């Protein structure tokens, strides 16, 4: 696990001063690490009857799609506004400064389906909190929110349902 942590690159002052950005492209670009990361994450959900994995634009797609393939589940995209062609359910949520909006197709999840949500990094939890709302609004049964990495000092999991958060690597 330490090897996987070590391969993630820290970039200081990105996207703005004072933020240390966890650059996961270094892990994704290393064949062995990427495979190991997906194997370790998917192992947790094998046999759990996950119907669909929701990926959050854009880095969540890279993890969500690979997990879905491993689990024999469908892939659902949560995208930035204006990208999805069919009717959408929109959710606007607070960021540190200002707000952001995400969209999901209204028919992407059927009531009662078992849903896993995937993203790369859990920071403040605002993004994942919005995605959880979207999934629940469509009637999905949230199995878990999973992240490749969690920035524990930001306490993002407090914004998410109790006991439904998993992160592979903790910083
Ligand atoms: P959050 O604050 O949890 O809503 O984070 C929003 C999104 O921004 C997540 O999907 C992360 O991919 C990304 N993010 C936030 N902070 C960082 C960080 N320090 N390093 C890398 N990604 C981050």
pLDDT tens per residue, range 108-149: 999 999 999 999 999 999 999 999 999 999 999 999 999 999
Residue 23: inside a domain = no
Strand pairing of 9-12 and 20-23?
antiparallel
Total count of domains within the chain: 1
Give the pLDDT confidence score for residue 97 in this predicted structure: 72
Give the pLDDT confidence score for residue 146 in this predicted structure: 98
Q: Is 96 a catalytic site residue?
A: yes
Could you give the C-alpha distances from 14 to 11, 22, 102, 130, in angstroms and in order?
6, 9, 22, 23
Assign residue 137 the CATH number of its domain: 3.40.50.2020
Q: Which of 9, 44, 57, 59 is catalytic?
A: 59
Q: Ligand 1 center to residue 122 CA distance, Å? A: 6
Residue 31: inside a domain = no
Residue 7: inside a domain = no
Report pLDDT digits (tens) over 45-102: 999 999 999 999 999 999 999 999 999 999 999 999 999 999 999 999 988 778 999 9
Q: Is 157 a catalytic site residue?
A: no
Q: Ligand 1 center to residue 74 CA distance, Å? A: 25
Could you give the C-alpha distances from 119 to 18, 85, 138, in angstroms and in order?
23, 22, 19
Residue 1: inside a domain = no
Residue 4: inside a domain = no
What is the SS3 assignment for 24? coil
Residue 113: inside a domain = yes
Is the pTM higher than 0.85? The answer reads yes
Q: List ligand 1's pocket residues with C-beta within 6 A.
A: 19-22, 59, 119-127, 151, 156
**What's the N-to-C CA distance of the chain in angstroms?**
12
Residue 12: inside a domain = no
Query: Tokens at residue 132, please?
Result: 């959880």
Report pLDDT digits (tens) over 9-29: 999 999 999 999 999 999 999
Residue 95: inside a domain = yes
Place of tokens 């799609």: 65
What range defines the domain where residue 145 resides? 48-170
Give the pLDDT confidence score for residue 98 in this predicted structure: 86
């Amino acid at each position: 696990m330490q090897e996987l942590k070590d391969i993630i690159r820290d970039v200081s002052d990105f996207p703005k001063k004072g933020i240390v950005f966890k650059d996961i492209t270094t892990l994704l670009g290393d064949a062995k690490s990427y495979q190991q990361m997906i194997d370790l994450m998917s192992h947790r959900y094998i046999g759990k009857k996950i119907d669909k994995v929701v990926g959050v634009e854009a880095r969540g797609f890279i993890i969500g799609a690979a997990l879905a393939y491993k689990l024999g589940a469908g892939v659902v995209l949560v995208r930035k506004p204006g990208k999805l062609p069919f009717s959408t359910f929109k959710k606007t949520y607070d960021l540190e400064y200002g707000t952001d909006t995400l969209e999901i197709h209204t028919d992407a999840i059927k009531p009662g389906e078992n849903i896993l949500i995937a993203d790369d990094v859990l920071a403040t939890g605002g993004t994942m909190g919005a995605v959880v709302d979207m999934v629940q609004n469509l009637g999905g049964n949230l199995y878990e929110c999973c992240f490749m990495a969690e920035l524990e000092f930001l306490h993002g999991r407090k914004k998410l349902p109790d006991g439904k958060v998993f992160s592979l690597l903790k910083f």
